[in-house]
Structure 1
């Protein structure tokens, strides 16, 4: 701050001395350059440790937070299990409200317009624009990348997914700007983690791809289930820099972190299509896997369906996740696997052959998005009645709890659909086992629906009892669904949606501000 006194010299211009307070992080200083003030002929830039400007009457000062990709990685790599659970709770609550069309209130609804795209003819960069709106505010992610088709041209420079997420308060005031690369990979893996969390066996993981999506799917699995994971198999088209890089990323994680998360002795391996006897080794690795992650923008099926649809392949239940394909031309999962997953099987036939539980549906993050953008779903002619949104799984459990309570008490009072009313920590065999959220976290604002999303639930609701149904029969249905999610063959397809960026980005900014990470601009 400038001192009140100044020094004069007969042959020098007036000089004002500046004194500085205690050191502060550089990103909290306000910068200014004074024209005409020079040292050795160069402009002098002063770090002015000045107080924030006074608020205008009736107008609250807003803090605008900017997070670089490195700062996002720093925050996310430092998460402990309880922090991951908090992020997962935020996303699960939003997906639930988006999918279930519960009654809106004054806090607003989730609106999820379809994404739009542009193609830059010079760089061949495809740019996706993903807007969203919810009770907490508005957001729009702008993400650019080159498609796998474009990169086949040697003259085209490959662009890894890069961009920003813009965040706004409900009144439109800018709240933050977050680099989108790591955030996108993390929020996608976080959705998959909602299903991973309740699997009974997570010993061997196989991941197709070596980019950020592949890394964060494995990284979150290690954070959540590290003590049970013994093998991680990476399968890539070629032994590229990315392939080498993903193994290095796991290697350089501090030993103390590995021990805290329980995977200090986990073995990592990589295989490419150039390996001798690749087909045989691929079959062995997929068959031995408890979880399979597909994280590539592939235009061809990554493996033969018979590996998992044959009698031998169906003996073991697996979680199969596909997140890499996002256009009608792309596909990762074999059509035969999707057809098998959506069949309704006779229970006696399944038990006779000792096959893993199958529910006759594929889980998706957004029904509308998958039907429009997921190439393998479109190619296999999978209809909306064969899909169930991830958010609907919480609703199914809620119906079970509500009807059970109604039968027990005999009350005719309408049941509440508030998120807080659901005990997500319930460990009984029920649909709540998909999300096991921390009880100390409050539920997200209720009353949120999706604009243009007013359809009936895509999944047949087994908990809605007919007048002649017995509670014992309904309990068996509930147990069957729980077994499917824990031990059966579960296929999950995600194309991503803007509200995932909105809610995870908002929570990330909150955590960053608490940890004083990033650049905070007061009065933006």
Structure 2
């Protein structure tokens, strides 16, 4: 068998020029893969219409190691099914190293690594650079949720924390699919650094703005250096329809009271957080999660009960990729005291909203 090797530039070239129709096909493929993972059943397709047997899916919990030499964390993520085996290895700067002079890296290590694919018999089939692919795939999963919102009224303003590849792809795919409905994109960063300028320039100079329908979309950048940062941050959060968090933060990115106050609860928002991969990491204030999971008076006699995923449009649950992984690794959920019944995996959400 031929071994396929794809560099980061090659992968970037492939996904950077997608049409809206191609993006929607990617979304369908990912939705099917999530269904297959969560239910261990094969979703029949045109290419595999006769598929009925359940694949043997094994996805052990990912493991990690920390390097004292670099202060970085390396994650190992294996997965196997009836069609083959894959191993993803990614190295990135550990947030715990930021306050440790001995472990602090000489330079910030952006997420980088590779995915190795094998046939069911163990023959190597592919070796893919993981940087762009990881950011693209994560944003694609988020887009499955973002696209469920009413674009005419609940997608006008998007606020993004972060300026790296994850932030770029979350904004880029949202604009490609729903750009004609998005009026404002707010970007929040710790400082106005070269990556911020590069991120902003990539959208302001994008040649496809008019063709994709977002030529009138406005962009702004806000950093703590602004003398009215707290006021503007509050305004942007209150105006947001979607908030996307793409940082390796170990503390909440904003004061939870902004969105749990009476003023903050006047409108519903989708909050997407992808940064936490350790229990000590946190992007969303725990009170925001607890507010979303509060019990409501419904049913006979006004008894309390949880809003399950069938009523997700009213809130009441947190949508996650995997229940076990989220409860062990997502610091926000751990701090908020989330239990399994308060979470729902992607596939259950989409089954109830298809």
TM-score relative to the length of structure 2: 0.88
Whole-angstrom CA distance in 2 between matches of 1:296 and 1:173? 36
Label 1:101 to 1:174 Cα distance change in 2 as closer, same or farther (>3 A): closer
Between stretches 91-100 and 363-372, larger displacement belongs to: 91-100
1:67 corresponds in structure 2 to 6
Instruction: Find out whether 1:199 has 2:149 as its counterpart.
Output: yes
Whole-angstrom CA distance in 2 between matches of 1:189 and 1:195? 10
Between stretches 78-87 and 339-348, larger displacement belongs to: 339-348
Name the SS of the counterpart of 1:99 in structure 2.
helix
Alignment deviations for residues 38-67 of structure 1 (CA, whole Å, 9 cap, x no partner): xxxxxxxxxxxxxxxxxxxxxxxx222111
The answer to whether the 8 Å contact 2:40/2:55 transfers is no
The answer to whether the 8 Å contact 2:40/2:56 transfers is no
Name the SS of the counterpart of 1:247 in structure 2.
helix
2:66 corresponds in structure 1 to 119
How many residues are aligned here? 329
Name the SS of the counterpart of 1:198 in structure 2.
coil
Cα deviation for residue 135 of structure 1 reads 3.8
Cα deviation for residue 238 of structure 1 reads 1.4
Give the alignment partner of residue 315 of structure 2, picking from 359, 367, 372: 359
Q: Give runs of ≥4 in structure 1 deviating > 4 Å.
A: 101-107
The answer to whether the 8 Å contact 1:344/1:359 transfers is no
Instruction: Find out whether 1:217 has 2:170 as its counterpart.
Output: yes
2:306 corresponds in structure 1 to none
Label 1:151 to 1:306 Cα distance change in 2 as closer, same or farther (>3 A): closer
Give the alignment partner of residue 294 of structure 1, picking from 236, 245, 253: 245
Gaps of 5+ in 2: 43-50, 303-311
2:305 corresponds in structure 1 to none
The answer to whether the 8 Å contact 1:363/1:387 transfers is yes
2:307 corresponds in structure 1 to none
2:265 corresponds in structure 1 to 314
1:385 corresponds in structure 2 to 341
Alignment deviations for residues 102-123 of structure 1 (CA, whole Å, 9 cap, x no partner): 4996562221110111122212
Highest Rg: 1 or 2?
Answer: 1
Gaps of 5+ in 1: 1-61, 350-355, 398-430, 433-524
1:163 corresponds in structure 2 to 113
TM-score relative to the length of structure 1: 0.60
Whole-angstrom CA distance in 1 between matches of 2:122 and 2:54? 14
Label 1:76 to 1:155 Cα distance change in 2 as closer, same or farther (>3 A): closer
Whole-angstrom CA distance in 1 between matches of 2:56 and 2:158? 37
Give the alignment partner of residue 325 of structure 1, picking from 276, 280, 296: 276
| 1:232-271 superposed matches below 5 A | 232-254=185-207, 257-271=208-222
Whole-angstrom CA distance in 2 between matches of 1:155 and 1:81? 40
Cα deviation for residue 144 of structure 1 reads 0.6
Alignment deviations for residues 286-311 of structure 1 (CA, whole Å, 9 cap, x no partner): 11111100000001101112211122
Whole-angstrom CA distance in 1 between matches of 2:221 and 2:237? 13
The answer to whether the 8 Å contact 1:131/1:139 transfers is yes
| 1:64-213 superposed matches below 5 A | 64-102=3-41, 106=53, 108-152=55-99, 153=101, 156-200=106-150, 201-213=154-166
Cα deviation for residue 211 of structure 1 reads 0.6
Higher RCO by CA contacts (8 Å cutoff, separation 6 or greater): 1
Name the SS of the counterpart of 2:243 in structure 1.
strand
Whole-angstrom CA distance in 2 between matches of 1:346 and 1:100? 32
Whole-angstrom CA distance in 2 between matches of 1:100 and 1:279? 44
Whole-angstrom CA distance in 1 between matches of 2:82 and 2:290? 38
